[in-house]
Structure 1
Amino acid sequence: MPKEWVPDDNDPGAHEPDTDYSAALIATLTRVLSAWTAPDFMTAVAAREGVELDPGAITMVTILSKDGPQRPSYLAAEMMTGASNISKISARLTAAGLLQRIPDPSDARAQLLELTAPGKKIAVALVRAGAGLVEELLRGWDTTDRLDLVRLLKKFEGSTITFSAGLGPATAANSTKKNNHKEH
């Protein structure tokens, strides 16, 4: 009969055998997220498709491409930054001819930020850059492993969003979930 596991409060390295994977998972996710969100990584991946934008601009173009025209307040919530930063990023994108302000059809006092035709072309190039990155990272993986990775990450994402929503309104995932639609 196997010995029953008993926690040892004096040994911070003691883990229940079935949960030893948690430290490895957290360490791996931390390394991946750190790499993927590093400004130099993001700009270098985009540059492979000829896109020369700063990380904030890349993020804004990506969000507007996915979600369509949005109010600056929506972008601030999605990008987890302030209105001042959104104003600076949108000014750079507007000056580059990639972004324009349009009237909000639901509120004549408000404006939406929208990608221009050249901005949409940049968004397509960013998608190509991301697809190329994933292809390189998964080179040598068979189809089953690739599909398993996607399936498990989607499952993990769902668990994360559910957990985050239970933490309260100050969490990022909960904020994103609530703002997953156009503001009116």
Structure 2
Amino acid sequence: MGQERVDRERARLLDELQAAVESVMTATRSGERHRALAGRAGQDLTRGEAQTLARIVKHGPLRVSGLAEMLDADRSLASRQVEALVRAGLAERVPDPTDGRATLVSATLRGKRLTTAIRRQWAQAMGEAVTDWPTADVELLTGLLQSFGSSLLGAMESTAHEANHDEDK
């Protein structure tokens, strides 16, 4: 009976964890919020464009197909987002040195600076959210989120690997 109670308590806590993560995701996934923060950083960008630019800054130069895979989007959507970033002067297409027929996308200096400015805006917004928290609590939350993010990513990758392995059977 004791183990059953522990299992129910753990299930309840996991439900609460899922609800808390969902709340954080809702707060950070708002397209309106992304646009406002990008605007404060100096450029009107959609959430998708900001995320695309951030991936290009972090992983570029890269092909649009690789970018689409990272974004979990189809190639045409990634291509449209890249085109908007190129028109805005935040990204550029350069020849792929390994394949003369292909192009790579890289961030311009302006795109890199904007990404840094947007990250600062997000940090400022988060700082406002925890302004009354003791520093020790902010440090604790940061460490726990880093651990949780790594563990969740590992569990999700493992689940995806198992699902792909099951499909091969």
For the aligned pair, the TM-score class normalised by the smaller chain equals 0.7 to 0.9
How many Å apart are 1:170 and its aligned residue? Answer: 9.3
Larger RCO (CA under 8 A, 6+ residues apart): 1
Residue 118 of structure 1 pairs with residue 110 of structure 2: yes
Could you tell me which of 25, 47, 70 is aligned with 1:55?
Answer: 47
Q: 2: CA distance between counterparts of 1:170 and 1:132?
A: 39
Q: Which has the higher helix share?
A: 2
- Give the count of matched residue pairs: 163
Q: Output the CA distance in 1 between the equivalents of 2:3 and 2:106.
A: 57
Please, which moves more after superposition, 161-170 or 47-56? 161-170
Distance 1:107 1:20 in 2: 54
- Over the aligned positions, Cα root-mean-square deviation in angstroms equals 2.2
Runs of at least 4 residues off by over 6 Å:
none
2:155 counterpart residue number = 163
SS at match of 1:110: strand
C-alpha distance in structure 2 between counterparts of 1:138 and 1:170, whole Å: 39
Q: What is the letter of the counterpart of residue 116 of structure 1?
A: T
- After TM superposition, the score normalised by the length of structure 2 is 0.85
Alignment-mate amino acid for residue 112 of structure 1: L
- After TM superposition, the score normalised by the length of structure 1 is 0.79
Q: What stretches of structure 2 of length at least 5 have no aligned partner?
A: 164-169
Q: Match of 1:27, as an amino acid?
A: A
Matches of 2:2 and 2:89, distance apart in 1: 66
Q: 1:4 aligns with which of 2, 7, 10?
A: 2
- Does the 8 Å CA contact 2:68/2:75 hold for their aligned counterparts? yes
1:92-107 mapped onto 2 (5 Å cutoff) = 92-107=84-99
Letter in 2 for 1:37: R
Residue 72 (structure 1) shift: 0.6
